[in-house]
Structure 1
């Protein structure tokens, strides 16, 4: 069988494909001008070695991470038929941006532009990976992110960051993005933030009212972040406060790392659990295949299987 005879719909969730990964792929950033990024954008591209009409996931890492992170999740997606593109944002520890750098107050906005730059340069992404050219399905694109990256990806879905002075938020949504996965993502700002967070992170003031793109929100019921006064339910706000067409996966016993998605043996993982990680892997994969119109039955089956045990590791609700 030739490569072109293996469409994405035939790559089953339980039969992972070999993966090709290339890093760094360098996408030039704009030069001097208004609010220049000042650094070329470096991304990692992971793709199945076989298959055609491959859907795309652009993934935004959490604060301080890089294209090197999130292998337990991005490797899983790539092995099950997705082309996963991971940019390194300016807040990455690998960039080493000083706190007093003039770009720091707009880090959140540069992050959103990074994701859009990836989508603007899919031709270059294809060309950088041997054998990938012509195999992307550009009508099936998803945005995903963890923590700070969840807010970044959410902007492409319709989330708006409200200016703390004017109360207005710019529409940064992208019609190329058809679905999203927001993992352990911040909720409302204002009085829901701790005084420290309100002072130092003014961009943590989102509204979900316009976030109309379908999305799966993933939260851990023990994700007690020091940025909010509310507790773990704060991270469910992107589900409860956005328009319909959303699903919420609550992972029981999970903290901010959701069982270990930031990396294999990563130091920031405080709740390492292969079982919880497997729940996040399987449910996010099934949801993306469902939301992008690849396979409807797998999502329903994954939701049923989650509860069809004596001691469930999570639950799914939708609206």
Structure 2
């Protein structure tokens, strides 16, 4: 199904976007086909690509290709092609793959899904005729929220140890040039909460090899006690422990869903704030527009507007 919507861009004008789902890729060895949503501006060329990895979450459909519309729609309106796969960890697939050994989180498969999307980018363009000749295959970013941010970190170069084999796993994807890491799990040596046993792959994560440039986003009220008592600063570890160039956006007052990025009116959002979501989306888009050379001044201008002064939505640190 193809949908066309309008969202409000930075100039206050409607910017048309198109969204098609499901687009299906057949991946040899994957237990089910790889299904994704494709969202893009209705016009424009030379579109950079964002691979977006959903979180795990508690909702049935937000952790799938159908989630994260408040963020994805605005990114598309600002000139990006956004590809959203349903990872095997999605609740929508639990009845089909929940018995497999890597269930329920499928941490390794989630990262390889993104490699399959890049391998199939030409096929995706053919499946969505409105994209023909409009996509820049060389300008690719990965973005993810929560568990999806962990996926993004692995693709950006972070390494971990497979808890079943003891193998050091390197899933870095060299075609990815930029990253956006939203509310990511941090270092593993402080995992002491009641849900820590569910993420054994995170215990040995090594951010020192995460060399790809990235924007790391952390809410200063995101206290994930179910995993650790390290406090909100735990979510800044991908910035603190990785080498530069990195940028940290600390969002004031934000909890784990960062104001509601996972879905419109989502009941799992404990800090619902549409203005915060819009600001975060504008900052994310501006960071990537500048990083990919589409608008060299976008990042500085957006930071000046949203992170300076008494009404700042957050604080920026760089290294």
Give the TM-score, by structure 1 length. Answer: 0.90
2:52 aligned with 1:59: yes
> Distance in 1 between the 2:105 and 2:78 partners?
35
Kindly state the Cα deviation for residue 311 of structure 1 after the two structures are TM-superposed.
3.1
Matched residue, 1:289: 289
Checking the alignment, whether the CA contact within 8 Å between 1:61 and 1:148 is kept in structure 2 is yes
Unpaired runs of 5+ residues, structure 2, are: 1-8, 58-62
C-alpha distance 16-145 of structure 1, shift in aligned 2 (>3 A): farther
Kindly state the Cα deviation for residue 167 of structure 1 after the two structures are TM-superposed.
6.3
Matched residue, 1:249: 249
Matched residue, 1:184: 183
Matched residue, 2:210: 211
2:130 aligned with 1:131: yes
CA RMSD of aligned residues (A): 1.8
Kindly state the Cα deviation for residue 52 of structure 1 after the two structures are TM-superposed.
0.7
Give the TM-score, by structure 2 length. Answer: 0.90
Checking the alignment, whether the CA contact within 8 Å between 1:16 and 1:80 is kept in structure 2 is no
> Distance in 2 between the 1:295 and 1:318 partners?
19
C-alpha distance 43-99 of structure 1, shift in aligned 2 (>3 A): closer
Kindly state the Cα deviation for residue 29 of structure 1 after the two structures are TM-superposed.
2.0
DSSP 3-state at the match of 1:228: coil
> Distance in 2 between the 1:166 and 1:240 partners?
28
Kindly state the Cα deviation for residue 155 of structure 1 after the two structures are TM-superposed.
1.3
> Distance in 2 between the 1:94 and 1:297 partners?
41
Kindly state the Cα deviation for residue 272 of structure 1 after the two structures are TM-superposed.
0.4
DSSP 3-state at the match of 1:269: coil
> Distance in 2 between the 1:220 and 1:154 partners?
17
Count how many residue pairs are aligned between Structure 1 and Structure 2: 302
C-alpha distance 227-55 of structure 1, shift in aligned 2 (>3 A): same
> Distance in 1 between the 2:93 and 2:185 partners?
24
Checking the alignment, whether the CA contact within 8 Å between 1:22 and 1:128 is kept in structure 2 is no
Matched residue, 2:278: 278
Kindly state the Cα deviation for residue 13 of structure 1 after the two structures are TM-superposed.
4.5
